[in-house]
Amino acid sequence: MADPKVGTGKKPKGSGRRLYTDENPKDTVRIKFATPADARRTVAKVKKVPKTFARKIQILTVGEQRRRDVKTALDKKNAKSERNARNRVQKFKVLLGERDGKKKG
């Protein structure tokens, strides 16, 4: 395989494969995992793909890892927004207390 063009990815020494590029986009299996229904459709699609069992497992593992990463990011975002909401409520209560002449000690 010829060396890649500039900006299309890297080719490690002694390797015939490029990194960061899809050498055969027609061969790509699109996966979706946003909802449980999407995940079921993806699994059904992967079962029908004419690839080796190991490749199918790789495809599903990528989906599982991405789902886990997205879930972790959403959990962190939700926890932060809940903390912010609690802080706003506390500040508002303190503000109301000060306005009504009831300062908290």
Whether pLDDT at 76 is above 60: yes
| CA dist., res. 90 & res. 99, Å (int) | 14
Distances (CA, A) of 88 to 81, 93, 94, 103: 10, 9, 10, 17
Q: How far apart are alpha carbons 38 and 90 in whole angstroms?
A: 40
Query: How does DSSP classify residue 101?
Result: T
Per-residue pLDDT tens digits for 35-57: 788 888 988 998 998 888 888 88
19 bridge partner residues: 10
For 58-71, what is the mean pLDDT? 83
Predicted local distance difference test score (pLDDT) of residue 19: 57
Q: What is the token pair recorded at 82?
A: 């809940």
Predicted local distance difference test score (pLDDT) of residue 100:
67
Res. 103: pLDDT tops 70? no
- H or E stretch covering 42: helix 36-48
28-37, 71-80, 90-99: segment of lowest average pLDDT: 90-99
Residues in CB range of 47: below 8 A, 6 or more apart? 56
> For 10-32, what is the mean pLDDT?
68
